[in-house]
Amino acid sequence: MEIDYVRSRFVKHFDGQTGNVYASPGRINLIGEHTDYNGGFVFPGAIDKGIMCEIRPNGTNKVMAYSIDLKDRVEFDIDDEKGPKASWARYLYGIVQEMKKRGVDVKGFNTAFAGDVPLGAGLSSSAALESCYAYALNDLFGENKVSKWDMVLAGQATEHNYCGVNCGIMDQFASVFGMEGKLMRLDCRSREFEYFPFDPKGYRLVLVDSVVKHELASSAYNDRRKSCENVVAALQKKYPEKTIETLRDADWDMLNAVKDEVSEEDMKRATFVLGEKDRVLAVCDALNAGDYETVGKKMYETHHGLSKEYEVSCEELDYLNDIAREDGVTGSRIMGGGFGGCTINLVKEDLYDHFIADVKKKYAERYGKEPKIYDVVIKDGSRKIC
């Protein structure tokens, strides 16, 4: 996104002065879905699409914010107890509160922001927004004393405390820590991570957006998380001598041992999580060996699990996955929380043009609209632009 695009609006909607400009990206995730809040591994990377904001302290106690894309303006007092109602402004209000809790003396500011990460497509536009302001507030009011990890946690706490989504840490982590050309393998339990160069020779990663919005998915997402917690509670009861904090601490024998103590639905959810844990490790080995056929196979298995066990797919996403398989695409699966949004596809170079043409045609024939196609470009995380 061009700085001038944001700057011209900022100057026009406030007092003509310029401020500092910051940017934060959305993310992809190669594999490891719904594993973050289960203490497992994820494999995300930051992308070349995100949020950019301009911001300038205004000497008052008020935040005056303008969403360029929505053409909507909101004002709130920093110390207001309830905060604004508009959903986009809740993220901003929440991150202000969470950065204050982490010791940043946030004062009033004017700000305008815009994004080129498609909303509701599973590319974490909300994490990009949180991370962008966490970074900006830390730089402007906090002398950058809040660590990157604390910015990640402030973004996650914003979702939990102000936006009603009990998300894990993957999206905010990817947005803050992203690095050009690298995916990151994160252990969500220990928070250790490794940058992984990702340059699969002869293959391309492409996102196919079903254009089914997943905005109403937050309660279903929270339900999935609850199911995992129910199984953990049953495991803790069965194995009081073991330390079981999340499903990461369970193996297949332990899970089978509580089969009769949990609902069938919760059992299905946990089956997915344990399977996904194994798949991420298999993908790491395969990546180390340059074996992209295995990476792709695991991606299809993940799709199957997300669709049939975790039940976060929808007809349109399943259809996109079927087309990929029929066309001989190496790997394809739902990416992100599910219920709409994109599939991520690992496609051989020489199949790419055919696949894109075919998926557009077949999807449009069935649903009367073309899917959107985004080539994945892995870029840097949160940063100051000027």
* Catalytically active residues, by annotation: 171
Q: Does 276 bind ligand GLA (CB under 6 A)?
A: no
SS3 91: helix
DSSP result, 263-322: -HHHHHHHHHHHHHHHHHHHHHHHHHTT-HHHHHHHHHHHHHHHHHTS----HHHHHHHH
Contact 376, 346 (CB under 8 A): no
| Residues facing 42 on adjacent strands | 186
Instruction: Identify which of residues 167 and 299 has a Cβ nearer to ligand GLA in the complex.
Output: 167
For ligand GLA, the closer of residues 296 and 337 by Cβ is 337
Cβ–Cβ < 8 Å for 292, 286: yes
Strand 109-115 and strand 62-67: pairing?
parallel
Count other C-beta atoms under 10 Å from residue 348's C-beta. 16
| Cα 320 off chain centre by | 20
Contact call for residue 283 and ligand GLA (CB under 6 A): no
Alpha-carbon distances, residue 257 vs 235, 254, 261, 310, 376 (angstroms): 8, 5, 9, 20, 42
Q: How far is the CB of 168 from ligand GLA (least distance, A)?
A: 3
Task: Using CB under 6 A, pick the residue from 31, 47, 52, 167 that binds ligand GLA.
Answer: 167
- Tell me whether residue 142 or residue 305 sits nearer to ligand GLA (CB atom): 305
Question: Of 61, 340, 123, whose CA–CA distance to 214 is shortest?
Answer: 340
Nearest-angstrom CA–CA distance, 34 and 40: 9
Among 170, 250, 270, 273, binds ligand GLA (CB under 6 A): 170
Between 185 and 224, how does the x/- string for binding to ligand GLA read (CB under 6 A)? ----------------------------------------
Least distance in angstroms from the C-beta of 233 to ligand GLA: 20
Residues that bind ligand GLA (rule: CB under 6 A) add up to a total of 11
Residue type, 96: V
Residues 336-375 binding ligand GLA (CB under 6 A) are: 336-337
User: Which residue stretch of 59-67, 163-171, 179-187, 191-199 sits at the interface with ligand GLA (rule: CB under 6 A)?
Assistant: 163-171
The single residue among 39, 94, 120, 168 that binds ligand GLA, judged by CB under 6 A, is 168
Interacting span for ligand GLA (CB under 6 A) from 11-19, 81-89, 132-140, 162-170: 162-170
Q: Which stretch binds ligand GLA (CB under 6 A): 67-75, 98-106, 168-176, 198-206?
A: 168-176
Distance CA 55, CA 25 (A): 17
As measured in angstroms, the least distance from the Cβ of 173 to ligand GLA is 9
Interface mask toward ligand GLA for 22-61; x: CB under 6 A: -----------xx-xx------------------------
Q: Please list every residue from 298 through 337 that binds ligand GLA, using CB under 6 A.
A: 336-337
Which of residues 9 and 34 has its CB atom nearest to ligand GLA in the complex? 34
Binding of ligand GLA by 171 (CB under 6 A)? yes
Residue in 96, 100, 82, 98 with CA at minimum distance from that of residue 53: 96
Residue written as token pair 């992209």? 292
Helices (H) and strands (E) in the chain, counts: 11, 13
Chain positions contacting ligand GLA, by CB under 6 A:
33-34, 36-37, 124, 167-168, 170-171, 336-337
